[in-house]
Structure 1
Amino acid sequence: MTALFTTVLAASTSYAQSSTFAGMAGTWSGPGTVTLDDGSSERIRCRSTYKVSGASMEMVLTCASDAYRFNLQAAVVAAGGEVNGTWTETSRNIGGSIQGRGASGSFQVIAQAAGFTANISLKTTGNKQQIAMRADSQFRAASISLSK
Structure 2
Amino acid sequence: MTAVLMTALATTTPSHAQSSTFAGMAGTWSGPGTVTLDDGSSERIRCRSIYKVIGASMEMALTCASDAYRFNLQAAVVSAGGEVSGTWSETSRNIGGTIQGRGAGGSFQVIAQAAGFAANISLKTTGNKQQIALRADSVFRAANISLSK
TM-score bracket for this pair, using the shorter chain length: over 0.9
The 2-side partners of 1:8 and 1:103 are apart by 19
Task: Report percent identity of matched pairs.
Answer: 84
Say whether 1:101 aligns with 2:102: yes
Letter in 2 for 1:4: A
The 1-side partners of 2:17 and 2:115 are apart by 36
Letter in 2 for 1:109: V
- The CA RMSD over aligned residues, in Å, is 1.5
1:22 deviation in Å? 1.2
Q: Confirm or deny: 8 A CA contact 1:119 1:134 kept in the other structure.
A: yes
Say whether 1:39 aligns with 2:45: no
The 2-side partners of 1:7 and 1:103 are apart by 17
Say whether 1:145 aligns with 2:146: yes
1:16 deviation in Å? 4.6
The 1-side partners of 2:67 and 2:58 are apart by 30
Structure 1 residue runs of 5 or longer lacking an equivalent are none
TM (norm. structure 2) is 0.93
Counterparts of 1:45-124 in structure 2, within 5 Å, are 45-124=46-125
1:25-82 Cα deviation digits (max 9, x unpaired): 0000000000000000000000000001121110011000000001111000100000
TM (norm. structure 1) is 0.94
Letter in 2 for 1:88: S
Letter in 1 for 2:75: A
